[in-house]
Amino acid sequence: MSYRTLRNRAAGRPWTAAVPLLTGAVLLSACQGPGGWTSDAPRPTREAVRVVPDDGARGVRAGHRIEVRVPDGRLERVEVTRAGDTGSAPVPGRLTRDGLGWRSAGPPLALASRYTVEAVALDGHGRRTARHTSFTTYVPRHRLVGFFRPEHRSTVGTGMIVSFDFNRPVRDRAAVERAVSVTARPAVRVAPHWFGARRMDFRPRERWRPGTEVTMALRLRDVRAAPGVYGIQHKTVRFRIGRDQTSVVDAAAHTMTVRRAGTPPVTLPVTAGDQDNPTYNGRMVILERHPMTRMDGGTVGFGGEYDIPDVPHALRLTTSGTFLHGNYWASRGTFGGANTSHGCVGLRDEQGGSPDTPAGWFYGNSLIGDIVEVIRSRDVTVAPDNGLGGWNMPWDEWLRGSALR
């Protein structure tokens, strides 16, 4: 079934689901952008939304406040979330009287926490600019903290991989692995795999069954992770697996086919990475959802080739900067007809983002944890530790990554 046929038949925008933010959002907020600027494409812009502390900052001390500023216009939306040992919670704040600034209110920054900031601003000409940043605060000396995903009480797609990023290198991986368990109901074997000394992921052999209830038990308090380094977390995290949806991007055919159990497949026209910057092959998992975000080529090695302040309906697929997002600057004929990006997958959209476009429809029907697979691209298969790419690793090899094998 095509997107147009589905939209004509459907009423009330089907498959819509509310999706929570992840604990431990990744730090980069840029994507591979459009391949070449045209007269109607967005032009590179200066930094319009400034956030303090800086994006990617580590070890930020307690006592600081979070500030967001714009030089002109006004701040339209600011959302700040804290994820720490006691769970995840929104951070309150207040706009300044002139609308140019926002400052966190209430208690100062908490230790051993990760903060994410989502801001959208309108400039003096009514144009939107989005900014997504994150930073972590100071962890007391000799203490180990694991920043994890997904978030407590969230509903995620069947491709979700449980992932821990530790603030310090783990020397005794076996001890830490014994202190963390991931179990499922209905029961299924869930196995860990270490990617270096700071990251441990968990997944089943095949993607989760819809409706599965998953429990993460963190019993890290006083566990010796390295000489003189001890864990501080003791908590239980639960999340649920939602409906089963998978999408396959055929880079050679310029299409994406969306499949969900019990419904006809939907085919959407896309534009993928160009000949010089092809899109990764392989299975990737949606990590983040942003109604609007900024994509700056300078953060992913493309210098000043592009800087798009208002990319709509952005779904992050890799840590390195691959997104599946709305594209309003390319002509209609591009989608389904040519690959023109620096590595992302683009769907037709309108500036500001419209729910009645292919990009808006797919965004509204996607969950964090859904699998997007790319085939027939000229690039290599995405690395298992680039985002949640562990589904590209054979099960036997995955099992060998356990410290307790």
User: Annotated catalytic sites, by residue?
Assistant: 325, 344
CB 29 within 8 A of CB 133: yes
Closest alpha carbon to 389 in 163, 179, 209 = 163
**Buried residues in 239-262 as b, exposed as e (16+ CB within 10 A):** bebbbbbbbbbbbeebbbbbebee
Helix (H) or strand (E) holding 50: strand 50-52
- CB contact at 8 A, 305 and 33: yes
The SS3 call for residue 332 is: helix
Tokens of 221: 């308090």
Query: How far, rounded to the nearest angstrom, does the alpha carbon of residue 100 sit from its chain's CA centroid?
Result: 28
Name residue 328's beta-bridge partners: none
Sheet with 93-95: list strands edge to edge. Answer: 50-52, 67-69, 101-104, 93-95
**Are the beta carbons of 374 and 389 closer than 8 angstroms?**
no
- Integer Cα distance of 244 and 156 in angstroms: 10
| C-alpha to C-alpha distance for 300 and 341, rounded to whole angstroms | 13
Cα separation of 347 and 255, whole Å?
A: 10
With beta carbons less than 8 A apart as the criterion, state whether 340 and 324 touch. no
Q: How far apart are CA 171 and CA 197, in angstroms?
A: 7
The strand order across the sheet containing 143-144 reads 143-144, 229-231, 224-226
Return the C-alpha torsion angle 233, 236, 237, 240, nearest 10: 160
Length of the chain in terms of residues written = 405
Q: Is 282 exposed, middle or buried (0-12, 13-18, 19+ CB in 10 A)?
A: buried
